[in-house]
Each structure stands twice: as C-alpha cells, then as structure tokens.
Amino acid sequence: MKTARVAAAFLLSLAAAHAQDVRKVAFRTLGLEVLPGLNEVHLLAATPKGKAVTVPVHALSMSPVVEGEFKGDEAVFFAKAGDTATPVAKGKLTKSKRQVLFFRPVKNEQGEGSYEIHAFDDDVADFKLGSVRAINLSPKTIRFNMAGKELSSIPPGGNVVYPQPKEVDEFGIYPAIVEAQGDGDAWAKVYSSSWKSSDRRREIVFVEYEDRFKQWSIKLMSDDPPSQQGK
C-alpha cells in the first residue's frame, strides 16, 4: 500500500514538472522571404489536451497574433500537421509572454531549405513605440548613425533597439547611415538614406550581406504592435 502511494506521488510530481515545462506564448511570425511550399508551418500540441496550430509565414509582413504552447524554451514547427519527423523551423524563445518569431531561410549541405527562428520580445515595454529594432543578419559587425549620432555597434546575429532621434527636419525626416567594420578600426559606409521618425509606430530594419554578389541589403518595415492596431 505504501509502495502504491509513493508511486502515485511520483507520477503526480512528474506530471506537475512536465506541466511546468509547457509555456503559453502569444506570438506573431515574420519572414524575410518565404521558402517554396513553406508559406505556413505547424506547431504541434505540447500536451495531450493541447491544440495544434497552423502558422502563416509572410515576407516582410507580420502575421496576426497566434497563441501556442511550447515545451521549454525551444520553438519547433513542422511542414505538415501531425508530422513529427520533419521539423522545418527551429529556434530558441525569449522569456517574454509576447514574442515575434522571425523565420530566416537557411539551406543544409544537400541544398534543402528550412527556417532558422530568431525570437524577439514583442511587448511595448521592451520595444517601445518610437523605436527602431536593428537586426544584423550579416557576417560583419555593423553600426548605425542616426541624425548625426553614432550608435552602439551590433555583432553578427545580434539585434539592438534604438530610440528614433528627435533631431529631425520639419517633415520628421532624419539621415540614417549604416557602416560595416573592416580590418582593425576601419569602418566603411554601406548604406545611406533618409528615414521618417514617428512616436506612433515601431520600425524594424534588417541588414544583410550577400557574399556571392558582395552586396549589402537593408530592408526597413513599419510595425504596429497588436495593442495599437485599430487606434
């Protein structure tokens, strides 16, 4: 009888520990480009009573908010509902309850495509209105100069949130420059343009370098957090 009680207590504690490992996250998805046949992916149920969800992947456009359950800090998506053998997107989650999952296409040695997931906090307390999130997808360290002010550098794979500058012209426009670090302390300008400042929205900028063509690519998109949409 005592053995049965011990076993039951052990099973209950095991179930409680498993439940604690499951996280509920409200997230949106974003892609830089969409792989053929993978414009949507599937998140499996994390618990027996959980619900699987189908998630869209849009190029330079946020999806609606999706609520899903994840085991621990890893996000894993599959090509088909019920398919547990072929993960097509993987990455680490942040600690936030609201996140953006950025799906970046990658290829393996066989040339097969999948997504590498980069997660970012989506709460306006962390990514405020009137801010710019700069994401460095290049193999080089970069830095921004906004309205004549040199900002902190960003290592390869890193991201930084900057406040949009207040030093703007009568139209709210300011100069934006991106520089890449070369050998030693040398920096080279790789991008120069004019951006519009606004305290009513957030901006996301992606910086890439295509080694094959020796060409830099900077993509800028505006983002209205879900709590502000419709206002």
Where are the domains positioned within the chain? 2-121, 131-228
Task: Say what the pLDDT of residue 18 is.
Answer: 45
Say which CATH class 131-228 falls into: mainly beta
Closest listed residue to residue 197, CA positions, set 143, 149, 125: 149
What is the DSSP pairing of strand 87-92 with strand 74-78? antiparallel
* pLDDT one digit per residue (tens) for the chain, 231 residues: 555 454 444 444 444 444 458 999 999 999 989 999 999 999 998 888 888 899 999 998 999 999 999 999 999 999 987 777 789 999 999 999 999 999 999 988 777 899 999 999 998 888 999 999 999 999 999 999 999 999 999 999 999 999 999 999 999 999 999 999 998 889 999 999 999 999 998 999 999 998 888 899 999 999 988 765 544
Note the pTM of the prediction, 2 decimals.
0.82
CA dist 57 and 41 (Å) reads: 7
CB 31 within 8 A of CB 59: yes
Task: Tell me the backbone φ, ψ of residue 68, rounded to 5 degrees.
Answer: -140, 165
- What residues contact residue 181 under an 8 Å CB cut-off, 6+ apart? 140, 141, 142, 143, 153, 187
Task: Say what the pLDDT of residue 49 is.
Answer: 83
